[in-house]
A and B are shown apart, each in its own frame.
Chain A
Amino acid sequence: KNQVEQSPQSLIILEGKNCTLQCNYTVSPFSNLRWYKQDTGRGPVSLTIMTFSENTKSNGRYTATLDADTKQSSLHITASQLSDSASYICVVSARSNYQLIWGAGTKLIIKP
């Protein structure tokens, strides 16, 4: 069964600190993996997309990594800001039919 598991479920860190969110998937055949940021009361917004051949991709203070062999991805946030408080969702696309499998998200809280 195609699944996406994210950890931790929630995380609280102090402003200025770094953090790493994890995503494990069992989707096959794999097409790409995306990270979305969802602010409270808003729809998700795309942060980055990674294909099979990409290991690392950065978007400002966000850096995503992908290990297609172990089927793991991580999202690293550097020098966190209060505005980073949100849920971060990992989404994997199956190559066969554009099916998207969504993780339940990690809720990140940044404290001043």
Chain B
Amino acid sequence: DAGITQSPRHKVTETGTPVTLRCHQTENHRYMYWYRQDPGHGLRLIHYSYGVKDTDKGEVSDGYSVSRSKTEDFLLTLESATSSQTSVYFCAIRGTGADEKLFFGSGTQLSVL
């Protein structure tokens, strides 16, 4: 998956607990993204980063925070998980080619009980 690793691949947690998902890239790309994917919906952008310590909100950022202390790592944190955050989470990096296509990790299946 183009040098992108997400961890964990699966996570089951309880409502109210904090959860951190990790995205690691070996491509040294500047832009990194966190998406969630739910049945019947297109991918929805949660947060993105355009460099170390540079992040911005996406369309569904409530309840999520991110951090990027190194180029290669982009962390997504659910401060207090809710059942509505049960979803598949994908990390992506933006390629540097002219078409700027996205390369995705394999996803994290998160279940909040």
Binding site for B on A (CB under 8 A): 4, 32, 34, 41-46, 49, 89, 91, 98, 100-105
Contact = CB atoms under 8 A, between A and B. Distances in A.
**Chain A interface, DSSP helix/strand/loop, else mixed:** strand
Q: Determine chain B's interface SS by DSSP, over half rule.
A: loop
Nearest to B33: A100
Given A34-B101, A46-B101, A101-B42, 15 more contacts: A4-B42, A32-B99, A41-B106, A43-B1, A43-B4, A43-B92, A43-B103, A43-B105, A46-B102, A46-B103, A89-B43, A91-B42, A100-B102, A102-B42, A104-B42
Contacts of A32: 99
Given A43-B90, A43-B92, A49-B99, A104 B41 contact: yes
A3 to B, nearest CB: 9
Interface residues of B, number: 19
B44 interface: yes
Nearest to B91: A43
Contacts of A43: 1, 4, 90, 92, 103-107
A42 B6 CA distance: 11
Given A42-B106, A43-B106, A102 B43 contact: yes
